[in-house]
Amino acid sequence: MKIAFLGGGNMANALIGGLIARGFERSTISVIEVNDAARDKLAAQHKVRVSTSPDAASHEADTLLLAVKPQDMKAALASLDADLSGKLVISIAAGLRLADLSRWLGGHGRMVRCMPNTPALIGEGVAALYALPAVSAEERKRAETILGAVGEVVWVDDEALLDPVTAVSGSGPAYVFWFIEQLAASGEKLGLAPGVAHKLALRTVLGAAKLAAQSGEPPGTLRERVTSKGGTTEAALKVFGKEQLAERLHRALEAASRRGAELGEQLGKDGK
C-alpha cells in the first residue's frame, strides 16, 4: 500500500505517526502540503516525502487521503493533475459529502468518507466510515487499516448517519471536556482547592471511561452498582432526572446532527 496525503495538518500528522508506529515504511507515504511550516514539521518528525504539489510519489500511490480543510477542498482537488481511476480516495474532511467530492473529481466512485475525532491525536480515537458501492472489500480493509492506526473504527451503511456520528463522537470530546470543567468548578464551589478539584474531576472521568471500556457491561449496569438507595449518588442522579438532563443532552445532539447536515449542504455548493 502506498498512501498520498493531500493536506498535512494535525489529523494527517497523527495518522502518519500511527501508521509508522505500526510498521509502515516511510517510503510508502507522501504528503502534498502547501504550508511551509507544516511541510517542514512532517519531514522532520516523520521523515516522509513532502511536496507542494502532486509529484511522482503521489502519482504512484494507490490511496489518496484527503485531509485539507473542508472549505479549501474544492480548490485543492482542482490542483490534482493525476489520473485517479486506479486509486482509493479516503476523505476525513468533516461535513463534505461523497457526492460533492466525486463531482469535483470528475465522477470518481471508489471513495470512503470518514469521521474521526481528536483523541486520534494520541492514538485513542474512534472513526466511523462509509464507503460507496464501488469500493471493494480489499479497499474497505485498507481504509480500516489507515484509520485504525489511531484508534477504533466502525462502519455505517448510510452516509446520512455520519451527521449523528459527528454529533456523538466528532463533537463528543468537547462535551466531555465541558463536563470535566463543570465537575471541577462545582468542586471548587463546595470548598475544594482548584488543583484538587481539577485532578479529582479529570481522573474520575478517565477512570470511569476505562472501567466502562474494560468491564464489558452496559454503562447503566455500572451506574446502578455505585448508586446505593438513599445515598449520595442517588441524591445527585435525582436532580439530573428532575432537571431532565438526559432530554436536554438529546436535544443538544439533535442540534449538532442537524447542523452537520446543513454544513454538508453549504460546503458542497459549487457556487462558493
One domain for residues 182 and 204: yes
Determine if residue 106 is left, alpha or beta; phi over 0 gives left, psi from -120 to 50 gives alpha, anything else beta: left
Q: Which residue range is the domain that position 137 belongs to?
A: 3-162
At residue 82, the pLDDT reads 66
Q: Mean pLDDT, 10 residues at a time, over the chain (272 residues)?
A: 93 94 93 92 93 87 94 88 84 93 92 96 96 96 96 96 96 97 97 98 97 94 95 96 96 95 86 44
One domain for residues 55 and 174: no
Q: How far is 270 from 208, CA to CA, in rounded Å?
A: 46
- What cell was used for 220? 447503566
Other beta carbons within 10 Å of 221: 10
Contact 7, 76 (CB under 8 A): yes
One domain for residues 208 and 92: no
Last residue of a domain, one of 162, 179, 203: 162
One domain for residues 198 and 146: no
One domain for residues 176 and 245: yes
Q: How far is 158 from 136, CA to CA, in rounded Å?
A: 17
Sign of torsion, CA 152 156 159 165?
A: negative
Residue with cell 460507496: 132
Other beta carbons within 10 Å of 90: 26
Three-state secondary-structure class, residue 34: coil
One domain for residues 29 and 99: yes
- What cell was used for 206? 478517565
Q: What is the pTM of this model?
A: 0.90
Q: How far is 265 from 258, CA to CA, in rounded Å?
A: 11
Last residue of a domain, one of 162, 189, 223: 162
Q: How far is 253 from 246, CA to CA, in rounded Å?
A: 11
One domain for residues 183 and 120: no
Structural domain includes residue 179: yes
CATH number of the domain to which 13 belongs: 3.40.50.720
At residue 191, the pLDDT reads 97
- The total of structural domains in the chain comes to 2
Q: Which residue in 125, 67, 147, 127 sits closest to 101, CA to CA?
A: 67
Last residue of a domain, one of 144, 162, 180: 162
- What cell was used for 88? 482509493
At residue 272, the pLDDT reads 43
CATH number of the domain to which 183 belongs: 1.10.3730.10
One domain for residues 191 and 153: no
Contact 79, 64 (CB under 8 A): no
Strands 125-131 and 111-115: antiparallel
Q: How far is 126 from 48, CA to CA, in rounded Å?
A: 25
Contact 91, 112 (CB under 8 A): yes
